[in-house]
Structure 1
Amino acid sequence: MKPIPFHLILSLFILLSQGTLAQTPQFNTEKDLLLAQFDCKTDVDDLHTVAALATLMRTEAYQDIAYFAVAGAYGVQEGLYVPPNALFELAFPNRWADAHHHQKDAINTVLKKVLAILDTGGAVWVAEAGQSDFSARWIAALAKLKPNVNLKERIHVVQHSNWNEEVTDQKLLAYVKATVNYHKIPDGNAVGNGTPGFRSDAPIAWEDYLAGDASRLAIWQKAVALGNQYNGKEGRYLNASIAAGGLDFSDLSETCYILDLSHLKDANAFFNLVK
């Protein structure tokens, strides 16, 4: 066998050190926790992602998964918060925490969920639909409580957005990357890059896909209404796709990665899966 050229070895090392090579998720549906954390500041796309996640979790294939959601898990970005509580109550009854108004309580609630999973041999998978500041805080608390647990093996944080990383406190982001298993995946706003592209300028007939399911229809109706109410208002980010009548649940790409659904192409493929 011919020796591998040094420059190829060096390139591989650089890719690995930067975390740019795709990792293979191994989510255990019987033991692991899916922790979906949303910044809700200032883009309204999180509202659509909340609806998409709730829709997925109500399918037969995923209804028994242990999952929990957090609102207000934002970083250092400027701009107004998008009030999501009415939607979270509808989408995740008794399965969410409000880190915007009650950050300490939210950290303690997440810690209890995480500790229960770790104590039964499971792992935690964070779908980081925002920045990693909140993750850093509960991970630091966890490290003090469980100094003998290998957090690199048991805690996974999945991020798809370069911008989310840029507006995370850089010391906190560095801490998360150094402490747990950090998965950086391709951006969920685009199609054909290895993750689903869940942002669409064109309208998606979600009402037709979910016809007959009053619960999931109500969640999407609330998400779309709130999105239209706050999109671009009072200096908030203007999501052009949503303004055009389309959908944007690009942050769901992280959950799809965790649950081995990265083969889904776009929003229509998602709704075909969950209908």
Structure 2
Amino acid sequence: MKQTCIFIFLTLSAFCFSWANKPEKEKRFNAEKDLLVMQFDCKTDVDDIHSAAAFKTLLSCPDFSAINYFAVAGTYGIQEGLYVPPNELFQQAFRDNWIDAHTNRPKAIVKMKNITLECLQNGGNVWIAEAGQSDFSAALIKAIQNDAPEINTSERIHIVQHSDWNEKVTSANSLAYVKANSNYHKIPDGNAVGNGTPGFRTPGYNDWQTKVKDTDLINLWELAVEIGLKYNGKNGRYNNEAVASGGLDFSDLCEVCWILGLQEMKDTDEFFNTFGR
């Protein structure tokens, strides 16, 4: 057991060291001054619940724990269907670093405008991982432009999207706006393996139970799995077959991996081998 623990520690340390020493152009994200925002639609697929747990797991790596980040729940677009309530899990994962746009979108936009402006006015860039649609991002960029028209949002705000479906259920005006007023990146879909980003949708996968060692992360994943099974396919919500089979789907995290230069990671198993600690 002692040798196994030493091996896991050395593997994680080597991985984080290699990331920290990547060239700046490959890393994209500047951890010293940039802001990482992950926006979750939570409607109607439960994959956002797993993605939030995976996001927190990644941030628990010592080399990423100092990243300036914020999470937003309820950033859905024009799609129909019921919401998947994430508040208990988000509070457990992110504490004070998240806001509920489902309950009060105008308040959330003002909050995020203030947070992003602080970063931008201090010389950093803002990176938004769209675990959902871009309607909230469009409203946020408009608010920033109204308050600080001198900021070139097309260069300083980077939006990353991996899903064709998410683009289709973003209102046409909002999608056109973010593409014109941000540095918009469409990357390969995180639901598949071997396409240039990690594939984090794995039916029947439950090996996280033996790979995750941190008690807080174990509790977080247990809650994520519980919420996912509770709402998956219920009352007309989308039936995620990977989740229904007892597996995991945190495909939206591929965007964060791309932002942080971790796009060479292969799949769910490699994620937990690396970050399960």
| Fold match by TM threshold 0.5 | yes
Match of 1:39 in 2: 41
Pairwise CA distance, 1:105: 1.1
Give the Cα separation in 1 of the matches to 2:195 and 2:167.
Answer: 19
Cα pair 1:204 1:267 within 8 Å, conserved: no
Identity percentage of aligned residues: 56
Partner of 1:109: 111
Q: Say whether the 8 Å CA contact 1:35–1:124 is kept in structure 2.
A: yes
Give the secondary-structure state (helix, strand or coil) at the position aligned to 2:196.
coil
Q: Distance in 1 between matches of 2:198 and 2:237?
A: 26
CA distance in 1, matches of 2:232, 2:204: 17
Give me the whole-angstrom Cα distance separating, in 1, the residues matched to 2:27 and 2:217. Answer: 27
TM value normalised by structure 2: 0.89
Relative to structure 2, which stretch is displaced further, 184-193 or 195-204? 195-204
1:145 Cα deviation after fit: 1.1
Cα shift at 1:31: 0.4
Gaps of 5+ in 1: 1-22
Consecutive aligned runs of 4 or more in structure 1 exceeding 3 Å deviation: none
Shift of 1:63: 0.2
Q: How many angstroms does 1:25 deviate by?
A: 5.9
Match of 2:271 in 1: 270
Matched, 1:257 2:258: yes
Instruction: Report the TM-score when normalising by structure 1.
Output: 0.90
Aligned counterparts of 1:34 and 1:96: Cα–Cα separation in 2:
12
| Mapping 1:115-134, distance limit 5 Å | 115-134=117-136
Within 5 Å, give how 1:1-275 maps onto structure 2. Answer: 26-211=28-213, 213-274=214-275, 275=277
User: C-alpha offsets along residues 129-169 of structure 1, whole Å, 9 cap, x if unaligned?
Assistant: 00000000011010111111111111000000000000000
- Offset at residue 265 of structure 1 (A): 0.4
Cα RMSD for the two superposed structures: 1.0
Q: Is the 8 A contact 1:40 1:82 kept in 2?
A: yes
After superposition, the C-alpha distances for 1:255-275 in whole angstroms (9 at most, x for unaligned) are 000000000000011111112
In 2, the alpha carbon distance for the partners of 1:30 and 1:204 equals: 35
The number of equivalent residue pairs is 252
Offset of 1:202 from its aligned partner?
A: 2.6
Give the Cα separation in 1 of the matches to 2:71 and 2:218: 20
**Unaligned 5+ runs, structure 2:** 1-24
Work out the CA distance in 2 between the residues paired with 1:203 and 1:193. Answer: 20
